[in-house]
Structure 1
């Protein structure tokens, strides 16, 4: 959407769509937030670090359409307050990119501490659930009713890496939530889908290029893909009419180990 298109939409009573992007301060979330702002969305940038979010908003194509909302997604009350700020500012939510996530140290699973396990579950599962819940409530009650939720899964939702049980378990759980919300959202014109990403070039993926443990016990460098390809894919999912839904999309570097993790 160009600035002219946006101006025309505003004049015709069709303001830009409103998107909430969690984990918007870095990596995939940052790339998606910037792409959505460039495409004409109003975007709430959500994350724990306010200054980092403000820097993303400042470098965007339209800082006037960016709302910086620092929040901890593991805190249900904070998530509720975050969505209330978005509704107060723009009146509705059309898209949630449910993206915030972390991983645990790559240790043998039986050596993982209870604290490390809970931290991953709290962000990747509980945090996603709290954001899903608030987005669903908002989309169900707003007029016109409906919206789209896009969960960031992972290829770990299908095949694990060595020493990654917490990340793998939570990403499998995200797939279950995606299916449940997709089913329960039908009555309210809420479409829910998931993008499973493999080896997007972000700071978090630098270790893949340097060399990472493979299923055969060897260390190997893995190819990466441009993170902006992920942003393009999310934009495509977000831009579909609500009568259609990409339930699951897998986007990965073509030559990376995935099928059989080899």
Structure 2
């Protein structure tokens, strides 16, 4: 335990959900390089292991080293399904046991669900899966982080929710995803208000067309509001990670409440 407290004394601790791929993996690597120790959560152990290796490589390249040297990068991987309350509880208990505190939650786990289904054809099971992952999962992780940040000494911390530009304007046939991302915005606002008394800051990053496996379809062409199908530009996911690292590094007296980062030429402005 003394060794863990030594790590805690040198580095801030971040927990990243959906860390096994895409935005979650890229943000984890960027945070490790920036000196954060990490708890990685995701459903697939092998993917979490790959992320942990990527973090270690980035930290070594930045002149840190194994075990959380000057570049940070100490990693704990905890396979977790964020839709299951007991697994979320176990995740945060493992983080607390390892590090003793939590300074940042990047609430990132999410799913698009089945694309291209009109509202009248969307199965209830599909709706439920998207809501359970994107909204309920975000709530469960935020609630657990809030409890930890409120109780720890020194008190406080930061929660960054992964929203979407779909929290502002929908795509055709995306009712479940769009509804949950609007819900995440409400979650962010409530957490920001309720956290004031405890030094807990909450902000949201709304991302548009970052290049990951989940957005590969943008390169092939996706339906537009006018009924056409068009290829959309994408942006480097590393630019998303840079913004998260900036938001995470602010003092708790300052907060980026909402930030939108998107491919410059994507057809969001004027959508619909």
Aligned partners of 1:58, 1:30: CA distance in 2, in Å?
10
Secondary structure of the corresponding residue to residue 193 of structure 1: strand
Asked whether 1:25 is paired with 2:20, we answer: yes
Counterpart of 1:164 (choices 139, 159, 174) is 174
Give the Cα–Cα distance (whole angstroms) in 1 for the partners of residues 153 and 244 of structure 2.
24
What is the CA distance between 1:16 and its match in structure 2? 0.3
Matched, 1:90 2:126: no
Match of 1:120 among 121, 130, 139: 130
Structure 1 residues 1-262: aligned runs within 5 Å = 14-60=9-55, 61-62=58-59, 64=67, 65-106=74-115, 107-261=117-271
Instruction: Output the CA distance in 1 between the equivalents of 2:10 and 2:149.
Output: 16
- 1:59 is displaced (CA, Å) by 2.3
Residue 70 of structure 2 is matched in structure 1 by none
User: What displacement does 1:103 show?
Assistant: 1.3
Q: Secondary structure at the match of 1:83?
A: helix
User: What do the CA deviations read for 1:55-99 (whole angstroms, capped 9, x no partner)?
Assistant: 110122346301111010000111011000000000000000000
The whole-number CA distance in structure 2 between the counterparts of 1:162 and 1:185 is 35
Deviation of the 1:259 alpha carbon: 1.7
User: What are the ranges of 5 or more consecutive residues in structure 1 without an aligned counterpart?
Assistant: 1-9
SS in structure 2 of the partner of residue 59 of structure 1: helix
Is contact 1:159-1:260 (8 Å) kept?
Answer: no
Root-mean-square deviation (CA, aligned residues, Å) is 1.3
| Structure 1 residue matching 2:10: 3-state secondary structure | coil
- Partner of 2:112, secondary structure, is coil
Instruction: Give the Cα separation in 2 of the matches to 1:104 and 1:129.
Output: 18
Q: Structure 1 residue runs of 4+, over 4 Å off?
A: none
Structure 2: any 5+ residue segments left out of the alignment? 1-5, 60-65, 68-73
Output the CA distance in 1 between the equivalents of 2:189 and 2:122.
29
Contact residue 148 and residue 192 of structure 1 kept, 8 A: yes
SS at 1:260's partner residue? Answer: coil
1:260, distance to aligned residue in structure 2 (A):
2.6
